Amino acid sequence: MNMYIDIVGACNLSCPSCPMGNSENLNFKKAMQLDMFKQIVAKARTEGVTSIFLYNWTEPLVHPKIGEFIEVINAAGMSSGVSTNLNLAKNMEKALLAEPGFFRISLSGFYQETYKKGHVGGDIEVVKQNMIALHEIKQRLGLSTRVDVYYHRYLDNIEEEALMREFSERLGFHFTTGYSIMMPLEKTLAIIDRDPSVTDADYETLKRLALPPYDDLVNVAQQHHQQTCSLKDNWLVIDCNGNTVLCCTIFNQSEYQVGKYLDMPVAELMRRKSTQKNCVDMCSRCANKGMHVYSMFPNHGVLERHAVNRILDFENLSSQGLAVDSELLGRAGEVSAESFDEAQYLQLNDDVRHAVATGQLKSGYQHYVLHGRLEGRLGAGVFSVV
């Protein structure tokens, strides 16, 4: 079992696809005390926890004792790791000198004009200088910590990915990429439900995503709604006050906490995740929309293909100097959810009508998005044109 701990309650940036930039922060905003952390690690060691990572929503390098936290984990014989936007240099060396198992740098562009859209308040040139400093520290002291660079893919930053890969690998860092998704879960569900709390800024962010939670993506994800949720079952998430939270996708840590980690056995905390009414209700909403799949596997299978199709359409339209309608990307020649004729589709497709009637599919539209549009099925309605 892995444990993720926010050792502080704040971040130095306001990224628009992250709750620290798109949601009101009603959580605890203090720094965890080292003594409490030592108790958490000691208890975790006896309860089968094998890895403790010092991040979830916030920036761990804000904590002045970050190095000591890593040392406590290592001394307990567990794997350790941090993830940072690396705009702060103050505690960077402390963290690296403690030799975590990995030191991850999260970024979203090579040039500032692009980077500042996804990492609001950050400066990519500062990040690059700090990356160079990390390399020099590693070389000088012969440190073994693996430095990972994780590049968040948006529709409009793919061209800069190769530049950041080259820069990172020249420094001896490991480079990986993944499609940025809209978080937290509360925000994603609000978008799906067309809740008025979704802001104009949120919709602007959705235009940049290769995997926005629009109706077509939800229908794809819902196909896998019975997929086991490892986020709830295999991860322990602790806030800076020592509370155990339902899962890593939840931002309202006060409402969705199931108890202080130090006050009860892990078995009881896990039981509460599955029995506490507000947690059960949230998990049901999430699973019914397939959003646990969206959170766990955005870079695999049908979701990856969905993202690739949107990126190809975006690049094609952009190269022609044409306007890009984000909601239609990857859906050329497809009937939109608003124009889909459910009754007609079911009437003309007996196998689909039977699958819906027996609960194998949620709707004719779900079949259309997953299969019918590719099979040329009749009855969908009026085609859109991208």
Rounded CA-CA distance 309/205 in Å is 19
Question: What is the set of domains in the chain, with CATH numbers?
Answer: 2-296 (3.20.20.70), 302-375 (no CATH)
Closest by alpha carbon to 12, among 52, 57, 54, 53?
Answer: 57
- Tell me whether strands 257-260 and 102-107 are parallel, antiparallel or unpaired: unpaired
For residue 265, whether the previous peptide bond is cis, meaning omega lies within 30 degrees of 0, is no
The structure tokens 């567990």 sit at: 78
The predicted-structure confidence for 243-268, as pLDDT tens digits, reads as follows 999 999 999 988 999 999 999 999 99
Tens digit of pLDDT for each residue in 286-331? 999 999 999 999 998 888 888 888 888 888 888 878 777 777 676 6
For position 333, what pLDDT does the model report?
66
pTM of the model: 0.86
DSSP character at residue 236: E
Q: pLDDT band for position 184 (50/70/90)?
A: very high
93 versus 338: the higher-pLDDT residue is 93
Say what the pLDDT of residue 385 is.
40
Write out the DSSP string of 40-105: HHHHHHHTT--EEES-SSS-GGGSTTHHHHHHHHHHTT-EEEEEE-----TTHHHHHHT--SEEEE
Task: State the Cα–Cα distance between residues 278 and 282, nearest whole angstrom.
Answer: 6
Q: What's the residue count for the chain? A: 386
Pairing of strands 146-153, 174-179: parallel
Residue 136 burial (C-beta neighbours within 10 Å; 0-12, 13-18, 19+): exposed
Q: What single-letter amino acid sits at 356?
A: V
DSSP annotation of 326 reads: G
Those residues whose C-beta lies under 8 Å from the C-beta of residue 25, and which sit 6 or more positions away, are: 9, 10, 19
Mean pLDDT of the residues in the chain: 92
Locate 265 and state its tokens. 């056995």
Alpha helix segments (H runs only) across the chain? 19-22, 34-46, 66-75, 92-97, 112-118, 124-141, 161-170, 185-192, 200-206, 215-222, 230-233, 266-275, 277-288, 291-296, 301-319, 342-348, 350-357, 364-367, 373-375
Residue 225 pLDDT = 66
Question: What one-letter code names the amino acid at 192?
Answer: I
